[in-house]
């Protein structure tokens, strides 16, 4: 039989920090902190396994659980020197959720369990503080009523019945603050609270401490499947069957007077990465007060003066924790009458900036190895994005009107229209793609989706550890919190700052580096890192973040080894940029962009009635293509360049509206009817499955011939100038081996002609995109002709899933919300389906040609999980847009580390 | 080293009848006939291997060949008692092509090789017939000039220079027939022929017999890759790398006077299957004269009177051949001065009618086994089509105007517009799908494509063995030949019959059973077989063809065993018809057809703004669906019925034009804008990859619920009436296992509700279509939920190949003509690609659920090669349209026989 309950307390514990799957993060770390001798209030963890059994058995607990809980409670009482339910020296406990990963604010917590009319007496006697005891009791009844008895408001319109009673009583007493209520008032409150429970639930508020505790455990388990927890797991891709543990912890009180307090802190600054002790605390308060963002707490530096002894002890613990956990910790602590208790530790969430800095600093401090520094747990590759995102242009900012200043909770520059409600933010972004700043008094877990949609988040209250701050940092969103100058009127949908009224259609700009809020749209410029890499007005030695970035990237490249990162680039400047970002070649150079630049000649080609006319039009396009390729070959300076022959359906080059067709007709000196008929002739029911890709080159071989000539001539010209060239000519949309064979024949014959004309040769390859399911299945035959494969996962996803990227909007939200698809398959490779096709393609291709070079050039090539998948199935390279090259480099290193 | 040359002659031969791959069909059978003692003019076969070497080595012969040929020629001379190139008793030879399969008229033949000024003398001396010798010589020069020296006309506008000279000379001499030319005239012809060769080729006509022979061999090999041969192979799917053999045969002459002749014959009637000796001959003629259709030959019955001895010998040989080859033979023979020589034998091409009759008769005669009778070589399953095709309605025919009568060369009833040129026939059918009668003086291999496109073929000259007749029978086309009353004016594009002029837009009707040609469109009625099976006004014992068909089908079913044939049927009458054709269940019942019948309610459902409104509209549809299903269950009387839930995109149910939308708006009492907007909202860029299939049921679960209810209620009602029901509910377009799980849950929950309401249960299955590549790859997971799979190969082909059936017309012809695809993948399963996906699906599905029932319900399910593939990869059933059920039954039997 499994062990269901794990005790921790004193300097011993049944569990340890490695047991997160069973004990949850919180439980495992409480045990671990006990084992390394830190002061932790004793308690025990009911395992995640019990949670899953609870659900499996129709929400009942396993029958063996009770005895284990009772035994653990006895041990807890022993260590804490108090007794649960005792009328003299009562032990109070909290019940806290704790899943394998942190899900801040998503699940339930109940404090002060064990209080009733009898134990209340004991609490008064043992603390000598009657007001504190009654305040604890009224808080308990309220919290238990809200959470366990489910009286909390179910919608925005609902009122919390307890808050209502509290408000009324304060009105009756003529006071404003809770703290102004006296013992009698609190007693009255408890009475009224209990009455409302009786009225709403039809039975008395539970007095039995054990009944209270079991109710709380059930409630914590139940909260695993509340809506927001489900949405949260879906957002981050966590499985629904992990379950949560329930932690029963002895209560310690930060609200027992001015020698008590509570706080949350990071061992280093999670926004900037600075090595300073970063956090906030409140004197005479309970933990929820700090996180909830209602009272603005004090900074840790002030604690040093205010409670120096506790600060010193905490600072020592900071060092012990970092050394022990080898990472930055996010801790919760409570000081009860001068004694420090650690309530939680966990790896700190961090911004991309902080992530890079932590990693590099810790390696240099000798705390961790380079390999550890690069792990995905420390730096999710996407976080690098933050370092590469634009910042506000200092010049533009100088001219901008700063309307307010708040706490810089998550760095970056964001502009957008004001939205006050998460729903509105979400639907605006769903329609427009981006451009929202979510402005809230404070955020709550209900705002999660709106926060994810928004470009930036701005709150009026809360500190650097508030919900808004924590979540923004995790999401990599620009965030400014605690901006007290904002007066938000949700009803009027306005925000007033020093008399100036902003409405929902107004633009504001938010600087997450400085905490500044500006009116209007402020122009941006490249990030420091990008500036050093590309524009180079900033020198490397002038930018600390660049230096740290560069170091990390160097380590990543060392570990990545032979796995290559290429880029998708169509023009010389893009190509150059990508090289600056670390690209080692072009994996996809689309030639159609060049054609759009010379649309007139392209249209002549399309409208040509005979192969001869077509050849004439193509002859005009040749010099343009050749010049473009020369530019790219030069920019890539020896790196391989994969050029795809013409791919899109021809109708894309012709106007579809009357007016446009008229203009083209005039321009081309033909009858408008000719244009209209050609457009009609090219119309397709399913263009994605139509006349495109190599099908164009098969029907019009002269197009492929011209393109091959342009590529090979350019390669010869550039090689003659002493620059190494390595063109790889890629035939798109091949399904049948004979298609590639036919196109490759044209390419090779054309190349031979050019070589004869030029009296020289260059090496080149002919390969194909693998972007049709058939190509994956027939990869063995295709590899007989193909010198390389490149997976086109955009099209492979469309055809493999039978799902058009242009059309899947109708149903994909239902799918994602119903957990019918693991992730959006156009963002992350659908491993089980499309991935299985890819694996088949790799296996069959390499069976024919063991040294076959295989890459990916779909947009998945820059998505970290997809990069790791590509590494795992043995691809030689990934190719992605220039800005994603650093992300792919890091993801590849993590893949190489198996992390 | 390979042996390149195989001698045959006397009663011995180096090869035999089994060596068709190496010696070609003609060569192998010449050898075989020698071995069984039949009179064959001696000669030798140069192998197909030499042909392939010839192409591989830049059109040169292997150097070892000459010695082998010389040796074989010596043996030939010995057996024939004459010497090649000898001035006294010269041996003349023909050079004939002969591939592994017969390709009638596609490749070259050269006769009378070995004639020159010197051997001509010998021929005159040895035959004593100067005119015959000179006529042979002028024929030789003309044929050699045309074929080997390539002076034959290259296009329709060109003239054959030799024909031109012949015409001129006849004019000069004032005669009409070739036979009216005397020896001097023939000498003059030879002179002029040689002059034109000299003028056109710049050198003399070759005099050296060996040079002549090598030229002819090269020409035969070269003709393997002429355009028409390539088209022919593509049409029938024969590989291009088989190559042809070249047969050098001693010449025997049917044109040496009235005791000479030549003919072609079938051992039984290849059109009707009758046991009569069927064929034609001409006295004093060479072989080409019979086949070419220029002179109308006599029937075999007349030969019995005209040359009784030869007829008797031939009739004996007829028996020997059938016994030896165990099949109907198609022979060529020549009588030279009263001596019979066999020039060729091969299995006779036959109509579907004849095929069935041959097979059944021969089993009953004890000639062959049932298994042999069923082989694909004897009855290609598609040939059964002919037995099931309509015939002319006797009533309509009685009233129709018979304008002419010809020879009934290939049975059936065809109506269409007159087209005189193959190109026109082809392009008309490409546009309109069908409806052409190709009318020609005679057909030639150039007309092949036009014949394939046409519904029927009508020629003015030629007999039952003419090109038109042979090819039509092979293609299963209705054909009437030798209709002498037609006067065709190609230039005016008219056909005149007894003064009445028919133009290209006029309809005619052609009866291939009787040889009648009628003006206009004559109504048809079901074939005899279908009449017995379905309408049953004809009793089985009244129809001989039905009885033979039924016997064959019974044998096929015995051999097919457990492999099941189902049908695709949406309505009770269709279902009943399919059962009559032998269907053992419904593999695909589409429910959308039912919705089209109740389009108003369906539109209400689509336009519903809320799930509640949608449920209301669905409630109206429920009784219709239930009634439909009851009808189908009753018609299937215990056979399983697979019902697919709603599949097509919703926009298909709404009108897309202004007027239609206006009408619907009025009908539904809503603003036209509502309709227009919904249509716009449902518009998709790639509807094939859009909101359809199970995606509809996922987003609108109430649709699936209604359909499940209708099916289960109908099943209960029918079961209650004592009829066994076995509904199989099929969810379409599943890609992700979770989709099926979600839909299956709705079905099962609904079924449980219905069972509870009705107080009874019926067995049912829930399964899925496998029609997306992802489904094939994820088949293992999907099979956890699916109780059956049914391959939807239409969609699987579209997605797997990335090729839309609606759009592939733009390029597929280029693909087929360029041999880039083996066959049209929408007609025959693309075995290497889509087939590989299917195999993966079967393997993975059965790994999870070893007894998983798997079928196919795409249109490929009735295509013989695809049926065989399905059998091979272990499917349990195929499902096809009712009329293809017999074809699938036969194909399945052939699959079981491994043939």
- Active-site residue, B467 included: yes
Question: What are the C-alpha distances in Å from A893 to residues A61, A387, A533, B293?
Answer: 45, 18, 21, 78
Cβ–Cβ of A687/B836 closer than 8 Å? no
CA-to-CA dists, residue A290 to A263, A463, A511, B55, angstroms: 7, 8, 24, 88
C-alpha distances in Å from residue A316, one per residue of A38, B248, B394: 11, 105, 108
**Active-site pick, B51, B415, B467, B694:** B467
Active site (annotated) includes residue A870: no
Residue B449 is predicted with a pLDDT of 83
Other Cβ atoms less than 10 A from the Cβ of A321: the count is 23
Q: What percent of chain A has pLDDT over 90?
A: 68
CB contact under 8 A, B807 and A684: yes
- C-alpha distance from A612 to closest chain B C-alpha (Å): 18
Q: pLDDT tens, A289-298?
A: 766 556 678 8
Q: Rounded to whole angstroms, how far apart are CA atoms A881 and A866?
A: 14
Chain B residue numbers with beta carbons less than 8 Å from the beta carbon of A687 are 685-686, 807
Q: From the candidates B479, B694, B716, B857, which is the catalytic residue?
A: B857
**Residue B417 pLDDT:** 95
Q: How confident is the model at residue A855, as a pLDDT?
A: 98
| Interface contact flag, B802 A688, Cβ < 8 Å | yes
Query: pLDDT tens-digit profile of B80-107?
Result: 999 999 999 999 999 999 999 988 778 9
Calculate how close chain A gets to B862, using CA atoms only, in Å: 23
Strands A641-644 and A727-731: parallel
Do B731 and B645 contact (CB within 8 A), yes or no? yes
For residue A813, give the chain B residue with the closest CA.
B699
**Which residue in chain A has the smallest CA separation from B830?**
A774
Q: What's the maximum distance between 2 C-alpha atoms anywhere in chain A?
A: 104
Write the residue in A774, A808, A836 that is nearest to B833 by C-beta: A774
* Residue of B777, B811, B816 to mutate, interface with A, max A Cβ within 10 Å: B777
Please tell me which of the candidates A686, A699, A811 has its beta carbon nearest to residue B807: A686
Could you read off the pLDDT of A34-72 as tens digits, one per residue?
999 999 999 999 999 999 999 999 999 999 999 999 999
Confidence (pLDDT) at B834: 98
- Nearest chain A CA: its distance from B310 CA (Å): 54
CB contacts of B689 in chain A (<8 Å) are: 686, 688-689, 798-799, 802-804, 807-808
Phi, psi dihedral angles at B295 (to 5 degrees)? -100, 135
What is the nearest CA distance from B742 to chain A, expressed in angstroms? 8
Choose the closest CB to A803 out of B689, B778, B781.
B689
Within 8 A by CB and 6+ apart from A562, the residues are A876
> B469: which 2 tokens?
């007749």
- Dihedral angle over CA of B355, B358, B363, B367, nearest 10: -120
Q: What is the mean pLDDT of chain A?
A: 92
pLDDT at B26: 96
Give the bridge partners for B96, in sequence order.
B109, B247
**pLDDT (average), residues A257-267:** 92
How far apart CA B119 and CA B125 sit, in angstroms, is 10
Answer for the pair A743, A704: CB distance below 8 angstroms, yes or no: yes
Confidence category of residue A536, pLDDT binned at 50, 70, 90 = confident
Range from A201-215, A448-462, A613-627 carrying the lowest mean pLDDT: A448-462
Please, which residues have CB within 8 angstroms of residue B610's CB and are 6 or more apart in sequence? none
CB A440 within 8 A of CB A513: no
Kindly give, in sequence order, each residue whose CB lies less than 8 Å from that of residue A319, ignoring residues fewer than 6 positions away: none
Q: Please tell me the predicted confidence (pLDDT) of residue A449.
A: 83
Q: Which of B736, B774, B802 is nearest residue A733 as measured by Cβ atoms?
A: B802
What distance in Å separates the CA atoms of residue B785 and residue B805, rounded to the nearest whole number? Answer: 31
Distance CA A826, CA A797 (A): 7
Contacts of B799 in chain A (CB under 8 A): 689, 773, 799-800, 802
Residue B8 pairs in a beta bridge with: B13, B43
DSSP state letters, A345-399: EEEPP--HHHHHHHHHHHHHTTSS-HHHHT-TTT--GGGHHHHHS-EE-HHHHHH
Cβ–Cβ gap A778/B836 under 8 Å: yes
Q: Which of A51, A95, A479, A857 is catalytic?
A: A857
pLDDT of residue B159: 73
For the whole prediction, is pTM greater than 0.95?
no
What CA–CA distance (Å, rounded) separates A520 from A500?
13
Q: Which of B735, B771, B773 to mutate to test the interface with A (most CBs of A within 10 A)?
A: B773
Which segments of chain B have a pLDDT < 50? none
Q: How far is CA A632 from CA A306, A396, A857, in A?
A: 64, 34, 17
Q: How far apart, in whole angstroms, are the C-alpha atoms of residue B475 and residue B463?
A: 17
Beta strands per DSSP E along B610-651:
641-644
Q: Please work out, in degrees rounded to the nearest 5, the angle formed at the alpha carbon of residue A453 by the alpha carbons of A451 and A455.
A: 80
User: Which of B803, B804, B833 has its CB closest to that of A777?
Assistant: B833
Distance from CA of A656 to the nearest CA of B (A): 14
**Where are the alpha helices (H) located in B384-455, listed in sequence order?**
384-388, 394-399, 422-432, 448-453
Is B411:B392 a contact under the CB 8 Å cutoff? no
Q: What is the interface size between A and B, counted as CB pairs within 8 Å?
A: 189
Contacts of A157 (CB under 8 A, 6+ apart): none
Evaluate if residue A155 carries a pLDDT over 70. no
Closest in A686, A739, A773 to B689, CB measured: A686
Query: Is the pLDDT score of A159 beyond 80?
Result: no
Distance from CA of B772 to the nearest CA of A (A): 6
Q: What is the pLDDT of residues B733-780, one digit of tens each?
A: 999 999 999 999 999 999 999 999 999 999 999 999 999 999 999 999
Backbone φ/ψ region at B462: left (φ over 0), alpha (ψ -120 to 50), beta:
left
Give the other-Cβ count within 10 Å of B417's Cβ. Answer: 19
- The answer to whether the Cβ–Cβ distance between A811 and B742 falls below 8 Å is no
Q: Nearest by CB to A689, from B777, B807, B818: name it.
A: B807
**Residues from chain B contacting residue A834 (CB–CB below 8 Å):** 774
- What pLDDT is attached to residue B156? 59
Q: Closest Cα of chain B to A524: distance in Å? A: 36
> What one-character-per-residue DSSP string does A488-503 give?
EETTTTEEEETTEEEE
CA distance B276 to chain A (A): 48
A517: burial class by Cβ within 10 Å (0-12, 13-18, 19+)? buried
pLDDT of B293: 56
Least confident of A194-203, A404-413, A566-575, B166-175: A404-413
Give the pLDDT confidence of A855-889 residue by residue, as tens digits. 999 889 999 999 999 999 999 999 998 888 999 99
Contact yes or no for B689 and A687 at CB 8 A = no
**Which of A690, A802, A810 best tests the B interface by mutation, with the highest count of B CBs <10 A?**
A802
Distance CA A26, CA A19 (A): 10
Rounded CA separation A111/A129 (Å): 18
Which of the 8 DSSP states describes residue B880?
Answer: E
CA-closest candidate to residue A388, choices A635, A577, A588, A586: A577
Chain A residues close to B778, C-beta within 8 Å = 832-833, 836
Of A685, A735, A837, nearest to B806 by CB-CB distance is A685
- The size of chain A, in residues, is 899
* DSSP structure class, residue A36: T
Q: Which member of A467, A483, A589, A651 is catalytic?
A: A467
Exposed/middle/buried for A567, CB within 10 Å: 0-12, 13-18, 19+?
buried
Chain B neighbors of A739, CB-CB under 8 A: 820
In chain B, the residue whose alpha carbon lies closest to the alpha carbon of A808 is B690
- DSSP letter assigned to residue A655: -
- Would you call B685 and A684 a contact, using CB atoms and an 8 Å cutoff? no
CB atoms within 10 A of CB A217: 25
Q: What is the predicted pLDDT for the residue at B411?
A: 83
Q: Which residues of A touch B699 (CB under 8 A)?
A: 810-811, 814
pLDDT, position A293:
56
Q: Does residue B683 sit in helix, strand or coil?
A: coil
- Nearest in space to A742 (alpha carbons), one of A711, A783, A698: A698
Q: Which of A239, A236, A240 is nearest to A448 (CA)?
A: A236
Write out chain B residues lying below 8 Å of A824, CB-based: none
A877, A817, A742, A898: which is closest to A227 by C-alpha?
A817
Residue B791 bridge partners (DSSP)? B770, B856
Q: How many CB atoms lie within 10 A of CB B178?
A: 15
Cα(B835)–Cα(B286) distance, integer angstroms: 50
pLDDT for residue B287:
74
């Amino acid at each position: 039989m499994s062990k269901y309950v794990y005790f921790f307390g004193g300097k011993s514990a049944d569990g340890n920090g490695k047991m997160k799957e069973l004990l949850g993060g919180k439980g495992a770390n409480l045990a671990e902190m006990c084992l390394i001798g830190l002061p932790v209030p004793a308690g025990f963890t009911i395992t995640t396994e019990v949670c899953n059994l609870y659900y499996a058995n129709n929400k009942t607990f396993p029958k063996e659980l009770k005895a284990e809980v009772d035994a653990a409670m006895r041990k807890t009482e022993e260590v804490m020197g108090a007794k649960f339910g005792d009328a003299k020296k009562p032990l109070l406990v909290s019940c806290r959720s704790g899943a394998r990963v942190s899900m801040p604010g998503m699940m339930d917590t109940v404090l002060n369990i064990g209080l009733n009319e009898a134990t209340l007496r004991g609490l008064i006697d043992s603390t000598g503080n009657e007001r504190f005891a009654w305040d604890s009791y009224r808080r308990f009844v309220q919290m238990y009523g809200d959470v366990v008895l489910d009286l909390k408001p179910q919608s925005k319109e609902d009122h919390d019945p307890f808050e209502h009673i509290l408000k009324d009583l304060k009105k009756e007493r003529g006071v404003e603050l809770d703290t102004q209520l006296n013992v009698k008032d609190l007693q009255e409150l408890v009475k009224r609270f209990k009455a409302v429970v009786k009225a709403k639930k039809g039975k008395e508020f539970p007095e039995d401490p054990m009944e209270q505790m079991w109710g709380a455990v059930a409630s914590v388990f139940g909260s695993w499947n509340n809506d927001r927890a489900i949405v949260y797991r879906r957002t981050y891709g966590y499985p629904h069957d992990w379950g949560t543990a329930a932690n029963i912890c002895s209560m310690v009180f930060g609200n027992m007077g001015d020698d008590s307090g509570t706080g949350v802190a990071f061992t280093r600054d999670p926004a900037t990465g600075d090595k300073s002790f970063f956090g906030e605390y409140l004197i005479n308060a309970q933990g929820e007060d700090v996180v909830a963002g209602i009272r603005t707490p004090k900074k840790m530096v002030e604690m040093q003066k205010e409670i120096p002894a506790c600060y010193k002890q905490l600072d020592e613990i900071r060092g012990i924790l970092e050394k022990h956990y080898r990472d930055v910790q996010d801790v919760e602590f409570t000081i009860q009458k001068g004694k420090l208790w650690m309530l939680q530790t966990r790896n700190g969430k961090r911004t991309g900036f902080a992530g890079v800095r932590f990693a590099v600093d810790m390696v240099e401090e000798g705390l961790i190895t380079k390999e550890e520094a690069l792990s995905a747990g420390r730096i999710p590759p996407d976080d690098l994005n933050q370092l590469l995102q634009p910042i506000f242009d200092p010049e533009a900012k100088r001219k901008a009107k700063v309307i307010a200043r708040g706490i810089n909770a998550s760095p970056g520059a964001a502009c957008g229209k004001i939205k006050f409600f998460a729903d509105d933010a979400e639907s605006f972004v769903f329609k427009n793609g981006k451009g929202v700043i979510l402005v809230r008094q404070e955020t709550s877990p209900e705002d999660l989706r709106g926060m994810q949609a928004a470009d930036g988040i701005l709150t009026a209250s809360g500190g650097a550890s508030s919900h808004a701050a924590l979540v923004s940092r995790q999401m990599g969103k620009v965030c400014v919190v605690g901006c007290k100058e904002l007066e938000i009127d949700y009803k009027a949908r306005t925000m007033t700052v020093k008399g100036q009224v902003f409405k929902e259609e107004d633009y504001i700009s938010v600087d997450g580096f400085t905490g500044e809020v500006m009116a209007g749209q402020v122009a941006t410029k490249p990030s420091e890192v990008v500036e050093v890499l590309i524009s180079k007005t900033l020198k490397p030695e002038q930018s600390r973040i660049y230096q740290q970035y560069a170091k990390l990237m160097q380590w990543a490249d060392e570990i990545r080894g032979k796995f290559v990162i290429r880029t998708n680039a169509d023009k010389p400047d893009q190509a150059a940029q990508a090289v600056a970002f670390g690209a080692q070649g072009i994996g996809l150079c689309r030639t159609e962009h060049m054609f759009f630049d010379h649309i007139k000649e392209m249209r002549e080609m399309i409208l040509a009635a005979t192969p001869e006319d077509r050849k004439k039009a193509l002859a005009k396009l040749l010099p343009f293509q050749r010049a473009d390729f020369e530019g790219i070959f030069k920019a890539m300076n020896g790196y391989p360049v994969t050029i795809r022959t013409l791919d899109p359906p021809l109708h894309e080059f012709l106007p579809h509206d009357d007016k446009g067709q008229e203009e083209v007709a005039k321009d081309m000196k033909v009858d408008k009817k000719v244009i209209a008929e050609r457009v009609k002739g090219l119309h397709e029911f399913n263009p994605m499955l139509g006349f495109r890709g190599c099908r164009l080159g098969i029907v019009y071989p002269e197009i492929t011939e011209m393109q091959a000539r342009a590529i090979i001539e350019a390669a010869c010209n550039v090689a003659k100038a002493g620059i190494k060239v390595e063109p790889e000519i890629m035939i798109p949309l091949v399904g049948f081996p004979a298609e590639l064979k036919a196109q490759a024949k044209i390419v090779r014959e054309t190349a031979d002609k050019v070589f004869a004309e030029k009296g020289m040769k260059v090496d080149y390859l002919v390969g194909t995109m693998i972007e049709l399911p058939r190509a994956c299945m027939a990869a063995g035959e295709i590899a007989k002709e193909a010198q390389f494969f490149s997976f086109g996962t955009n099209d492979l996803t469309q055809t493999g899933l039978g799902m058009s990227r242009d059309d899947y909007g109708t149903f994909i939200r239902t799918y994602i919300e119903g957990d019918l698809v693991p992730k959006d398959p156009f963002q992350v490779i659908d491993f089980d389906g499309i991935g299985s096709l890819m694996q088949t393609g790799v296996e069959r291709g390499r069976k024919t040609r063991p040294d076959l070079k295989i890459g990916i050039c779909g947009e998945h090539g820059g998505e970290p999980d997809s990069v790791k998948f590509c590494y795992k199935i043995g691809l030689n390279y990934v190719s992605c847009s220039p800005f994603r090259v650093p992300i792919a480099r890091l993801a590849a290193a993590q893949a190489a580390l198996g992390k």
